[in-house]
A and B are shown apart, each in its own frame.
Chain A
Amino acid sequence: MTRAAPLPISIRGLTKTYGAVTALDSVDLDVRSGEFLTLLGPSGSGKTTLLMVLAGFIRPDSGSLMFGGTEVIRRPPHQRDVGMVFQNYALFPHMDVAANVAYPLKLRRVPPALRATRVAAALDMVQLGAFGTRRIDELSGGQRQRVALARALVFEPRIVLMDEPLSALDKQLRERMQIELRQLHEKLGTTTVYVTHDQREALTMSDRIAVINGGRIAQLDSPRALYENPASRFVAEFIGESAFLKVERVDGVLRCAGQTLTVASPPPDAASLLLMLRPERVRIVDRSAGETLNVFDAEVTSIVYQGDSVLLQAVLADGSPIRVRTSGAGGSPMAPSAGDRIRLGLGPADTVLVADDGN
């Protein structure tokens, strides 16, 4: 199959209000052609609204939406030529699997012989080659998911939208489908906008993630940059586990919980700063351990065994709670127990300061 080149998406000043509620607050966003971009945010953040505007199901109050070089903001959904995978799959229950997949081809007047070939190819692509004559209600959740995917891709749209397509699947199947979707995207190279509230899913699949909060894009970055260097406390809290400690800046010296901090990169220019502590980046260190670490003394309050890891809850000298995740590997020489006094170390690269945006 020779595919048409994927299209970039350009969004400018997109605003949508419902009465007093602002669902989208002048959103600007560029999706590169062929990119897998995820809109990640809590429920009510506006991520689904944004996707529905892209699909044409929600008419915004104002703004511009370009697919490639073409303005499409006033174009009705059936003329946008984007594939979409719905949250509940939205498969037609009165058609069998093959008819569902053939539906967009029929509307595009693809001749029957070619139609059959392309339907078969699309079903093969999602490993449902033998399921063409099945009724929709005979399929499992994962199979429906694949049919929906085949239907959204069979007419070779240059842009694909996905609205939490995996949220109805159980954890194992979801993780397998994440990998499969990602591989499929790498094969087809279609510009993909994916909506989810699951941060792990976003990190697993995306080229870039747009974290959305209150109708605005809080941060747009690669998964790694987002996790390692969140721009704000909101992003840091939403992606990954973290605790925050207040940081004081006196004459250019950063101090936190009575310690002077060594940082790898200059802190953001904000009035009030927080030290972000990822539990898996904090290490239990020897009393004698090195000068290069930022070191905190703490007292262990509880230990929770979680199978793949052990979670330590502790308090610092000033009473701030802190969580430390260590590998659960047995026979660790420094396995502490509740009440022990321990020393925690944080490498300069892991000493990330974020602006306190009041969340």
Chain B
Amino acid sequence: MATSVASNADADVRAPHARALRRDALVERLALFSLSAPALILVTVIMVLPVAWLFGLSFVADDGSLTLEHYRRLIEQPSYARTFVATFQISLVTTAICVVLGYPLAYFLSQLPQRAANLCMIAVLLPFWTSLLVRTYAWLVLLQRQGLINTWGIKLGLWDEPLALVHNLTGTLIGMVHIMLPFLVLPVLESMRAIDGSLTKAAANLGASPSQAFRTVFLPLSLPGLFAGALIVFILCLGFYVTPAVLGGGKVIMVSNRIANDIELFFNWGAASALGVVLLVLTLAFLFVATRLLKFDRIIGSGR
């Protein structure tokens, strides 16, 4: 005991307060960590536990025994494969339309003076303040056979017969693009705003016409934001339920619709869980590959 006191005193002479300072640092780290505890608990309770539970359910047969039956059915019944392919296709098309519509919109917003840009941003974000369901049903009202668009189109003589704009793929895509667009515009706008204005000036000074400057400088520097936005939209689309259900009219079947069917019509939690697990795994795999392939932050730098 006496020797340890002595050596402590020795240590204190050589490195004064070292132990106390280390303890202070630890306490500080713990205090910081405790701030995130509520969020961690919440995520565990409402995300991790249910997913784990559903994962377990997907291996349980009706009689309670362990089984791979639900997964075997996913492989054996071709309709499931078709649903997955359709889901990826619809998500891809929605993402593509969002990119085509959203990139120019973001570019326009990025070039506006701050005040005007803020006003326009409110217009872009306005839909976020309305319920998803309300917006989807609003499209139903607009797009149906006797809806606003068909009535006016015929009145103005643009077309004679009511167009089938809803209860099909067209309606689903219109609704999905509308809902997903802000998720693309926001990250793209963010990356465009981060591009130093003097870079395009430098390009012009060095002899680049406006279109050359855009192609060689602005576009490459905004790509990381575009890929981030497209990735978010694509992944949100993969699990989209409400809009395809309402505007697809039963003709557009995405994975989430089949999951709902399995539960609502067949009370087959096992099959529904298996579908959910496969969708989750495919999404994660896609995310993994995409982020590996598109390490643009590293290749391109920050744009500043």
Residues of A within 8 A of B (CB): 55-57, 76-78, 80-84, 86-88, 90-94, 103-104, 107-108, 135-137, 151-152, 155
Beta-carbon contact of B205 and A78 below 8 Å: yes
The 25 sampled A-B contact pairs (Cβ below 8 Å) are A56-B204, A57-B205, A76-B204, A77-B204, A78-B207, A78-B210, A82-B205, A84-B202, A84-B205, A86-B201, A86-B202, A88-B198, A90-B196, A90-B199, A94-B217, A94-B220, A94-B303, A103-B203, A103-B206, A104-B206, A104-B207, A107-B212, A135-B301, A137-B301, A137-B302
Please tell me if B75 contacts chain A, counting CB pairs below 8 Å.
no
Q: A78-B209, A93-B221 are in contact. Are A57 and B300 (CB under 8 A)?
A: no
Chain A, Cβ-Cβ closest to B205: A84
Is B261 located at the chain interface by the 8 A CB criterion?
A: no
Please indicate the chain B residues that have their CB under 8 angstroms from the CB of A88 in the complex: 196, 198
Q: Which of chain A's residues have a CB closer than 8 A to the CB of B304?
A: 93
- Chain B residues contacting A104 (CB-CB under 8 Å) are 206-207
Name the A residues within 8 Å of B207 (CB-CB): 78, 81, 104, 107-108, 155
Contact residues of B between 126 and 162, Cβ < 8 Å to A: none
Option from A77, A80, A84, A92 in Cβ contact (under 8 Å) with B217: A92
Q: Point out the residues of chain A lying under 8 angstroms from B196, CB to CB.
A: 88, 90
5 A-B pairs closest in CB distance: A93-B301, A90-B202, A104-B206, A90-B198, A77-B204
Given contacts A78-B203, A90-B199, 20 further A-B contacts (CB under 8 A): A56-B205, A57-B204, A78-B204, A78-B206, A78-B208, A78-B210, A78-B212, A82-B205, A90-B196, A90-B202, A91-B202, A94-B299, A103-B216, A104-B207, A107-B207, A107-B208, A108-B207, A137-B301, A151-B206, A155-B207
* Cβ-closest chain A residue relative to B299: A94
**Option from B198, B213, B302 in Cβ contact (under 8 Å) with A86:** B198
Contact of A93 with B206 at beta-carbon distance under 8 Å, contacts A77-B201, A103-B216, A107-B212 already known: no
Which residues of B are found within 8 Å of A83, using beta-carbon distances? 205
Chain B residue numbers with a CB within 8 Å of A78 are 203-210, 212-213
A94-B201 Cα distance, complex, nearest whole Å: 16
CA distance A131 to B167 in the complex (A): 61
Report A163 CB to chain B, min CB distance, Å.
9
Complexed CA–CA distance, A86 and B201 (Å):
9
A93 contacts B302, CB within 8 Å?
yes
Contact partner, B206, options A76, A107, A135, A136, Cβ 8 Å? A107
Least CB distance from B87 to A in Å reads: 34
Please determine whether B301 and A136 come into contact, CB atoms closer than 8 angstroms.
yes
Shortest Cβ gap from B84 to chain A (Å): 36
For B300, the chain A residues whose CB sits under 8 A away are 93-94
Considering the complex, give the chain B residue whose CB is closest to the CB of A154.
B206
- CB-based nearest B residue for A108: B207
For residue B298, give the distance in angstroms from its CB to the closest CB of chain A. 10
A80, A86, A88, A90: which has the most chain B beta carbons within 10 Å?
Answer: A90
Q: Which residue of A lies closest to B224 (CB)?
A: A94
Min Cβ gap B3→A in Å is 53
CA distance A81 to B216 in the complex (A): 19
- Kindly state the separation between the CA atoms of A91 and B301 in the bound complex, as whole angstroms: 12
Q: Can you name the residue of chain B whose Cβ is closest to the Cβ of A151?
A: B206
Closest residue on chain A to residue B206 by CB atoms: A104
Cα A77 to Cα B200 with chains together (Å): 11
From A57, A88, A93, residue with most partner B Cβ within 10 Å = A93
In the complex, which residues of chain A have a beta carbon less than 8 angstroms from the beta carbon of B213?
Answer: 78
Question: Which of A77, A91, A135, A137 has a CB less than 8 Å from the CB of B205?
Answer: A77
Alpha-carbon distance A84/B209, docked complex (angstroms): 16
Q: How far is the CA of A94 from the CA of B205 in the complex (A)?
A: 18
B192: shortest Cβ distance to chain A, in Å?
Answer: 14
Q: Which residue of A lies closest to B216 (CB)?
A: A103
Report the Cα distance A83→B202, complex, angstroms.
9
Closest CB-CB distance, A240 to chain B, in whole Å? 32
Chain B residues closer than 8 Å to A77, beta-carbon distance: 201, 204-205
Q: Which chain A residue shows the least CB distance to B195?
A: A93
**Contact string, B101-115, partner A, CB cutoff 8 A, digits 1/0?**
000000000000000
The CA of A76 and the CA of B204, in the complex, are separated in Å by 9
Report Cα–Cα, A151/B208, bound state, in Å.
14
User: Which residues of the other chain, A, contact B217 by a CB distance below 8 angstroms?
Assistant: 92, 94
CA of A135 to CA of B301 in the docked complex: distance in angstroms? 9
In B184-232, which residues have CB < 8 Å from any A CB? 196, 198-199, 201-210, 212-213, 216-217, 220-221
**Which parts of B39-82 form the interface with A (CB within 8 Å)?**
none
Contacts of A92 in B (CB 8 A): 199, 202-203, 217
Which residues of A sit under 8 angstroms from B303, Cβ to Cβ?
A: 93-94
